[in-house]
Amino acid sequence: MGRVTTTRACTAASIYFAGIDQCQLGYCIQADSGTGNTWACVALSNDTSLMRFGREETSQLCINRSVLKVNILQCAFNYCILVDGSGKKSCEILSAASNRYGRDANTHECLTAPNTAAPSSVVDSCAQNYCIFKDPGTSQMQCRQLSSNTAERSVGKESVSQFCLDIG
Protein backbone atom coordinates (compact mmCIF):
# COMPACT_ATOMS: atom_id res chain seq x y z
CA MET A 1 0.00 0.00 0.00
CA GLY A 2 2.89 2.37 0.67
CA ARG A 3 6.63 2.91 0.98
CA VAL A 4 8.59 3.77 4.13
CA THR A 5 10.76 6.88 3.63
CA THR A 6 13.93 5.69 5.37
CA THR A 7 14.14 2.04 4.28
CA ARG A 8 12.10 2.19 1.03
CA ALA A 9 10.37 -0.96 2.31
CA CYS A 10 6.77 -1.64 1.32
CA THR A 11 4.12 -1.34 3.99
CA ALA A 12 0.59 -2.64 4.44
CA ALA A 13 -2.32 -0.26 4.91
CA SER A 14 -2.89 1.40 8.30
CA ILE A 15 0.53 0.47 9.76
CA TYR A 16 2.25 3.57 11.16
CA PHE A 17 5.91 4.46 10.56
CA ALA A 18 8.11 7.50 11.25
CA GLY A 19 7.85 8.40 7.58
CA ILE A 20 5.80 7.37 4.54
CA ASP A 21 6.57 8.97 1.19
CA GLN A 22 4.25 7.15 -1.20
CA CYS A 23 0.89 5.36 -1.22
CA GLN A 24 -0.88 3.54 -4.02
CA LEU A 25 -3.90 5.15 -5.71
CA GLY A 26 -7.01 5.03 -3.55
CA TYR A 27 -4.93 5.67 -0.41
CA CYS A 28 -3.55 8.80 1.25
CA ILE A 29 -0.98 9.55 3.95
CA GLN A 30 -2.44 10.26 7.39
CA ALA A 31 -0.71 11.19 10.64
CA ASP A 32 -1.35 9.15 13.76
CA SER A 33 -3.99 11.10 15.67
CA GLY A 34 -2.36 10.27 19.02
CA THR A 35 1.18 11.47 18.41
CA GLY A 36 1.11 13.17 15.01
CA ASN A 37 4.67 12.04 14.29
CA THR A 38 4.00 8.65 12.71
CA TRP A 39 2.29 8.12 9.36
CA ALA A 40 0.34 5.43 7.48
CA CYS A 41 -1.29 4.83 4.11
CA VAL A 42 -5.05 4.71 4.69
CA ALA A 43 -7.88 4.15 2.23
CA LEU A 44 -9.89 7.11 0.99
CA SER A 45 -13.32 7.05 2.62
CA ASN A 46 -16.79 8.61 2.44
CA ASP A 47 -17.08 8.32 6.24
CA THR A 48 -17.40 11.87 7.60
CA SER A 49 -15.74 10.92 10.91
CA LEU A 50 -12.52 9.83 9.14
CA MET A 51 -11.88 13.03 7.11
CA ARG A 52 -10.20 11.18 4.22
CA PHE A 53 -12.22 12.35 1.23
CA GLY A 54 -9.27 13.11 -1.02
CA ARG A 55 -5.56 12.97 -1.64
CA GLU A 56 -3.16 15.77 -2.51
CA GLU A 57 -1.07 15.12 -5.60
CA THR A 58 2.43 16.01 -4.40
CA SER A 59 2.39 15.30 -0.66
CA GLN A 60 -0.24 12.51 -0.92
CA LEU A 61 -1.68 13.75 2.38
CA CYS A 62 -5.34 13.04 3.18
CA ILE A 63 -7.71 15.97 2.86
CA ASN A 64 -11.21 16.61 4.14
CA ARG A 65 -14.12 17.40 1.83
CA SER A 66 -14.71 20.97 0.70
CA VAL A 67 -11.11 21.99 1.56
CA LEU A 68 -9.64 24.10 -1.27
CA LYS A 69 -6.24 22.97 -2.56
CA VAL A 70 -4.36 23.51 -5.82
CA ASN A 71 -3.22 19.94 -6.36
CA ILE A 72 -5.88 17.36 -5.48
CA LEU A 73 -5.19 14.09 -7.27
CA GLN A 74 -8.27 12.02 -6.40
CA CYS A 75 -11.37 11.81 -4.22
CA ALA A 76 -13.22 8.99 -2.47
CA PHE A 77 -15.99 7.08 -4.26
CA ASN A 78 -19.13 9.21 -4.88
CA TYR A 79 -17.02 12.38 -4.59
CA CYS A 80 -15.49 14.39 -7.43
CA ILE A 81 -12.94 17.16 -7.83
CA LEU A 82 -14.62 20.52 -8.27
CA VAL A 83 -12.40 23.27 -9.72
CA ASP A 84 -13.28 26.86 -8.74
CA GLY A 85 -12.69 29.99 -10.82
CA SER A 86 -9.18 30.50 -9.38
CA GLY A 87 -8.05 26.96 -10.21
CA LYS A 88 -8.33 25.64 -6.65
CA LYS A 89 -9.90 22.23 -6.18
CA SER A 90 -12.03 20.50 -3.57
CA CYS A 91 -13.60 17.06 -3.12
CA GLU A 92 -17.39 17.40 -3.23
CA ILE A 93 -20.14 14.80 -3.04
CA LEU A 94 -21.85 13.90 -6.31
CA SER A 95 -25.21 15.67 -6.34
CA ALA A 96 -27.49 16.57 -9.23
CA ALA A 97 -28.91 19.40 -7.12
CA SER A 98 -25.42 20.94 -7.05
CA ASN A 99 -24.70 20.26 -10.75
CA ARG A 100 -22.24 17.46 -9.99
CA TYR A 101 -23.77 14.61 -11.99
CA GLY A 102 -20.79 12.28 -12.28
CA ARG A 103 -17.06 11.81 -12.12
CA ASP A 104 -14.51 11.41 -14.92
CA ALA A 105 -12.69 8.16 -14.14
CA ASN A 106 -9.25 9.45 -15.16
CA THR A 107 -9.20 12.96 -13.67
CA HIS A 108 -11.84 12.52 -10.92
CA GLU A 109 -13.22 15.94 -11.98
CA CYS A 110 -16.95 16.58 -11.69
CA LEU A 111 -19.21 16.26 -14.72
CA THR A 112 -21.32 19.38 -14.36
CA ALA A 113 -24.01 18.57 -16.93
CA PRO A 114 -26.15 15.43 -17.33
CA ASN A 115 -26.06 13.47 -20.59
CA THR A 116 -22.64 14.93 -21.47
CA ALA A 117 -19.75 12.61 -22.25
CA ALA A 118 -16.78 12.66 -19.89
CA PRO A 119 -13.66 14.29 -21.40
CA SER A 120 -11.79 10.97 -21.08
CA SER A 121 -14.89 9.11 -22.33
CA VAL A 122 -14.94 7.09 -19.08
CA VAL A 123 -17.23 7.68 -16.08
CA ASP A 124 -16.79 5.69 -12.85
CA SER A 125 -19.61 7.05 -10.68
CA CYS A 126 -22.79 9.11 -10.92
CA ALA A 127 -25.00 11.08 -8.53
CA GLN A 128 -27.98 9.46 -6.83
CA ASN A 129 -30.80 8.69 -9.32
CA TYR A 130 -28.31 8.74 -12.22
CA CYS A 131 -26.59 5.80 -13.90
CA ILE A 132 -23.66 5.31 -16.28
CA PHE A 133 -24.78 5.06 -19.89
CA LYS A 134 -22.31 3.90 -22.54
CA ASP A 135 -23.16 5.10 -26.04
CA PRO A 136 -23.01 2.00 -28.28
CA GLY A 137 -21.92 4.08 -31.30
CA THR A 138 -19.07 6.07 -29.73
CA SER A 139 -18.35 4.05 -26.54
CA GLN A 140 -18.35 7.33 -24.61
CA MET A 141 -19.87 7.27 -21.13
CA GLN A 142 -22.19 9.78 -19.48
CA CYS A 143 -24.51 10.00 -16.49
CA ARG A 144 -28.17 9.59 -17.40
CA GLN A 145 -31.12 10.16 -15.07
CA LEU A 146 -33.12 7.13 -14.01
CA SER A 147 -36.73 7.22 -15.14
CA SER A 148 -39.93 5.26 -14.65
CA ASN A 149 -40.86 6.27 -18.20
CA THR A 150 -40.13 3.13 -20.23
CA ALA A 151 -39.58 5.20 -23.39
CA GLU A 152 -36.48 6.70 -21.74
CA ARG A 153 -35.20 3.16 -21.07
CA SER A 154 -32.91 3.65 -18.01
CA VAL A 155 -35.08 2.32 -15.19
CA GLY A 156 -32.41 1.01 -12.82
CA LYS A 157 -28.74 1.04 -11.86
CA GLU A 158 -26.44 -1.94 -11.32
CA SER A 159 -25.18 -1.70 -7.72
CA VAL A 160 -21.43 -2.17 -8.31
CA SER A 161 -20.70 -0.85 -11.81
CA GLN A 162 -23.47 1.80 -11.71
CA PHE A 163 -24.33 0.99 -15.35
CA CYS A 164 -27.88 1.73 -16.46
CA LEU A 165 -30.34 -1.14 -16.49
CA ASP A 166 -32.53 -0.69 -19.53
CA ILE A 167 -35.82 -2.20 -20.63
CA GLY A 168 -35.52 -4.61 -23.55
Per-residue pLDDT reduced to its tens digit, 42-82: 999 988 888 899 999 988 999 988 888 888 999 998 999 99
- What's the rounded mean pLDDT across residues 17-26? 87
Is residue 71 packed enough to be buried (19+ CB in 10 Å), middle (13-18) or exposed (0-12)? exposed
User: Model pTM?
Assistant: 0.81
Do residues 29 and 56 touch, judged by C-beta distance below 8 A? no
Do residues 123 and 103 touch, judged by C-beta distance below 8 A? yes
CA angle 80, 84, 87 (to 5 degrees): 100
**Is residue 36 predicted with pLDDT exceeding 70?**
yes
pLDDT at 80: 94
User: What's the CA gap between 67 and 160, in Å, rounded?
Assistant: 28
Whole-angstrom CA distances from 41 to 31, 117, 123, 141 are: 9, 33, 26, 31
**Is residue 168 predicted with pLDDT exceeding 60?**
no
pLDDT at 102: 94
Do residues 38 and 15 touch, judged by C-beta distance below 8 A? no
Domain parsing of the chain, residue ranges: 2-91, 102-166
More confident residue, 168 or 92: 92
More confident residue, 168 or 138: 138
User: What's the CA gap between 27 and 142, in Å, rounded?
Assistant: 26
